[in-house]
């Protein structure tokens, strides 16, 4: 089984993350970007859903084991390349010329939660899964671009609470604050609702992509112009 797989279901592409906790590392970056490239080549596809084959986890963010190894090897360039790589993943979603829907069927933590926020719409099941930014507890600061992505999806008053407390939120709370479109009682209902919603989109790709590019222009500019000031001096942080 590949780390990332996708299948076509009528006009919807369903990307499935298959690596358990779906931790983000260089292999994850390459696999996600490749899937989006392949999907875009199929002109019959009009929307994308991102889910996980693990019933417990959607994505738990950065692969801390890989990061520890990179630090131990003093592989600063590898760490920088990974950070820029995740920015390419976020930017790809933000610019993607069709809707990208996160079907959050398990825990989303840290960078996984940021990726969910980069998506256009989010659905989440209520019987298992937390939506959490634990960075305040593990002393890993967000890049400016990541904060801008979170702000796109989370009302600012709620963003302050979630980012500064590291609180674990559940689906019903997130729906009440319009972070997710809908709470679903279980995984079957989640995929049914996400698929039904995805099928409502038959928009033309050029206009859809252009609207997203303009809507997210500020975020993309922050990633391009502000993030390098924090990524490049990485040696000062470790």
Q: How far apart are the first and last CA of the chain?
A: 35
Q: Which domains does the chain have, with CATH numbers?
A: 4-190 (3.90.226.10)
Using the CB atoms, write b or e for 124-162: b if 16+ within 10 Å. Answer: bbbebbbbbbbbeeeeeebbbbbbbbbebbbeeebbeeb
Structural contact between residues 64 and 30, judged by C-beta atoms closer than 8 angstroms:
no
Structure confidence at residue 238 as a pLDDT band (50, 70, 90)? low
Structural contact between residues 98 and 46, judged by C-beta atoms closer than 8 angstroms:
yes
What distance in Å separates the CA atoms of residue 233 and residue 28, rounded to the nearest whole number?
24
Tokens of 43: 């002109």
DSSP one-letter string for 129-180: --EE-THHHHT-PPPHHHHHHHHHHS-HHHHHHHHHH-PEE-HHHHHHTTSS
Q: Is 209 helix (H, G, I), strand (E, B) or coil?
A: helix
- Give me the mean pLDDT over the 90-113 stretch: 98
pLDDT at 236 over 60: no
Please tell me the predicted confidence (pLDDT) of residue 235.
58
- Give me the mean pLDDT over the 65-93 stretch: 94
Beta strands in 10-152 (DSSP E): 12-17, 47-52, 57-59, 100-104, 107-109, 121-125, 131-132
Please tell me the predicted confidence (pLDDT) of residue 74.
87
Tokens of 206: 């050029």
What distance in Å separates the CA atoms of residue 167 and residue 75, rounded to the nearest whole number?
32
| pTM of this structure | 0.96
- Give me the mean pLDDT over the 4-9 stretch: 98
Candidates 97, 58, 92, 88; CA nearest to 194 is 58
Summary mean pLDDT of the chain: 96
């Amino acid at each position: 089984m590949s780390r990332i797989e996708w299948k076509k279901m009528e006009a919807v592409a369903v990307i499935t993350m298959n690596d358990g906790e779906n931790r983000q590392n260089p292999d994850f970056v390459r696999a996600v970007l490749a899937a989006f490239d392949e999907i875009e080549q199929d002109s019959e596809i009009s929307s994308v859903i991102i889910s996980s084959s693990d019933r417990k986890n959607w994505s738990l963010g950065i692969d801390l084991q890989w990061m520890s190894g990179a630090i131990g090897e003093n592989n600063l360039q590898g760490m920088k390349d990974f950070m820029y790589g995740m920015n390419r993943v976020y930017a790809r979603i933000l610019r993607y010329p069709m809707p990208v829907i996160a079907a959050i069927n398990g825990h989303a933590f840290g960078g996984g939660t940021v990726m969910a926020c980069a998506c256009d719409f989010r659905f989440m099941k209520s019987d298992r899964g937390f939506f959490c930014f634990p960075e305040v507890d593990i002393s890993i600061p967000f890049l400016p671009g990541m904060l801008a992505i979170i702000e796109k999806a989370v009302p600012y008053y709620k963003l302050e609470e979630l980012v500064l407390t590291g609180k674990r939120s559940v689906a019903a709370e997130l729906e009440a604050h319009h972070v997710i479109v809908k709470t679903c009682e279980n995984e079957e209902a989640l995929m049914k609702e996400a698929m039904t919603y995805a099928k409502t989109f038959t928009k033309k790709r050029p206009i859809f992509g252009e609207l997203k590019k303009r809507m997210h222009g500020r975020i993309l500019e922050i990633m391009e112009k502000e993030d390098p000031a924090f990524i490049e001096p990485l040696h000062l942080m470790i």
